[in-house]
Structure 1
Amino acid sequence: MARGVIALDLASKHFGDRPVLGPIAFAVAPGEAVALTGPSGAGKTTLLRILAGLDRDFEGSLSAPARIAMVFQEPTLLPWRDAAANIMLTTGADAATAERLLGEVGLAGRGAAYPGQLSLGQQRRLALARALAAEPELLLLDEPFVSLDPALVEEMLTLTEAVLRRRRAASVLVTHSRAEAERLADRIVTLGGSPARIVSEERP
């Protein structure tokens, strides 16, 4: 298997008696952006959760960096804490770092706003800022632009593209959108079959 920031040699993943993922050899090089695509139910999010260390119930081996951050499909923010606290409480970042990160994602001056006072697009920006606070070696994004209107998708794509370029962290993006994959990824990996496997890999 190729060496990388993260390397997975998966034999299988089951939910009960049902096989979900078959043999998969997957690695991400330092600074590389990879998009995971495929039909609904192909196991993209399951694979991402394995990479994140959130699902350890699989057969195989995983070599992962110490610092991994994940941006979930839903922002998963603390509604009873303001934006700055959502960053600081979950990552240990100080107030100055939180304010800098809010500025980096276009939320400068919104540190005192609560999640319920933010639009969905702004909540997604806050979730990204929280992930960046971990200074991740690997950033995992699970359909971060879903449910946004086209104008907001374009804004978030531009923001994410800029963040990945500045940070030079490796990243894995789960998306159903070919346009998003081509925009953000150096390599597109498509899952398919049952149980799911890698059916194609290409450069956009």
Structure 2
Amino acid sequence: MSVVHLHLPGFSFGDVPVLGPLTLTVDRGETLALTGPSGIGKSTLLRIVAGVYPARGTREIAGRMAFVFQEPTLLRWRTAQRNVEIAAKVSPDTALAALTEVGLGACADRFPDQLSLGQQRRLALARAFACDPDLMLLDEPFVSLDAAAAEEMMGLFADLRARRNMAGILVTHDAAEARRLATRTLTLSGRPATVTADVHAAA
């Protein structure tokens, strides 16, 4: 069952073409990695899927959607628990359970600036997963972490995803990250960018 269906005739910023014609479909239980050179349009495509950038064509999303950005984009004047409650629109008990699931149960009353970058990334994941999304969109969520922290976060994401039958789209420039987390990898290249490879992970 498809959670995402996007048919895009193209996309431009003003007079500058960024994306050429493409069709994108993601099924439930599938995690799609968007790869390609820096600046090729991966994040732009993700934002079109999210509805952040209105675009011509057809965009169909089945169910709830959550977005994890490159930066945690947290409410710094709210505690970790309130960040989850407000963003995910969930009860205090559900928010605390989500924090506990990512190892931040003891940090529920701390503010984002009292957390390390790795903990802030965990909070962003907790906030996204708390709403029980049908579609998770991730824009290089492990960027700027050291290798050990990135590995830890990838493992955490994989564990959280395994407990849910959701679809996901992950923007990454890291081929190893795509191999680790994706069931399918879509490569963008060219000017304007189009899909030049669509590869399913080996079983």
The TM tier, using the shorter chain, reads: over 0.9
Deviation at 1:69, TM superposition (A): 0.3
2:131, 2:49 → 1: CA distance? Answer: 16
Task: Measure the CA separation in 2 of the matches of 1:147 and 1:168.
Answer: 29
Letter in 2 for 1:135: D
Matched, 1:132 2:115: no
What is the DSSP-based 3-state SS (H/G/I as helix, E as strand, rest coil) of the residue aligned with 1:5? strand
Q: Structure 2: where are the runs of 5+ without partners?
A: none
| 1:96 CA displacement | 0.6
Q: Deviation of residue 59 (structure 1)? A: 2.0
Q: 1:89 Cα deviation (Å)?
A: 1.4
The runs of 5 or more residues in structure 1 that have no matched partner are none
In the other structure, the counterpart of 1:147 is 144
Distance in 2 of aligned mates of 1:89 and 1:25: 34
Cα distance in 2, alignment partners of residues 25 and 92 from structure 1? 32
- 2:73 & 2:113 partners in 1: Cα distance? 12
Distance 2:101 2:10 in 1: 39
Q: Does the 8 Å contact 2:98/2:130 carry over to 1? A: yes
How many matched pairs? 201
- Tell me the equivalent position of 1:36: 34
Matching residue's letter, 2:163: R
Secondary structure at the aligned position of 2:107 is classed as: coil
**Residue type of the partner of 1:96?**
D
Work out the CA distance in 1 between the residues paired with 2:89 and 2:69.
19
Moved >6 Å (runs of 4+) = none
- Asked whether 1:187 is paired with 2:184, we answer yes
Q: In structure 2, how many angstroms separate the alpha carbons of the residues matched to 1:32 and 1:91?
A: 22
Deviations 1:77-123 (CA, angstroms, capped at 9, x unpaired): 00000000001112221111011000111112110010001011110
Q: CA deviation at 1:53?
A: 1.1
Measured in 1, the distance between the counterparts of 2:116 and 2:164 equals 25
Tell me if 1:71 matches 2:62. no
Percent identity of paired positions between Structure 1 and Structure 2: 52
Q: Is 2:98 the counterpart of 1:105?
A: no
Please, what is the CA RMSD of the aligned residues? Answer: 0.9
CA distance in 1, matches of 2:38, 2:14: 20
